[in-house]
Structure 1
Amino acid sequence: MNKQQLFDNIKRKQSFLCVGLDTDIKKIPPHLLDGEDPIFTFNKAIIDATAKYCVAYKPNLAFYESLGMEGMSAFERTVTYIRENYPDQFIIADAKRGDIGNTSEMYARSFFDHIKVDAVTVAPYMGEDSVKPFLLYPESWVILLALTSNKGSKDFQFTEDANGERLFEKVLKKSQEWATDEQMMYVVGATQGEMFLDIRKYAPHHFLLVPGVGAQGGSLEEVARYGMNEQCGLLVNSSRAIIYADHTTNFAAVAGEAAREVQQEMVLYLFDKGIIPHKS
Structure 2
Amino acid sequence: MYIFQINASFYTRLVRYIKPRLLMMWTITLIALLGGCVSTKEPSPYAYTPSPNPFQDVVRAQERALEQGKLLLVVLGAQWCHDSTGLAERFSTQEMDLILRAHYETVFVDVGTLEDRRKITERFAYPNYYATPTVMVVEPSSGALLNRTSMDIWGNADSIHLDDYLAYFSRYPAMTEMQKAQLISWKPTNEEVAYNKEQAARLQRAYDKLGPLLVEDLNGNTPEGLNALWKEAKTYRTELQKTLVKRAELTLGEKGDNGVNTKPALRHYNPFSWEQN
Q: Judging by fraction of residues, say which structure has more strand.
A: 1
- Flag whether TM exceeds 0.5 (same fold): no
Q: Judging by fraction of residues, say which structure has more helix.
A: 2
Q: Point out which structure has higher relative CO (alpha carbons under 8 A, 6+ apart).
A: 1
Q: TM-score range by the shorter chain?
A: under 0.3
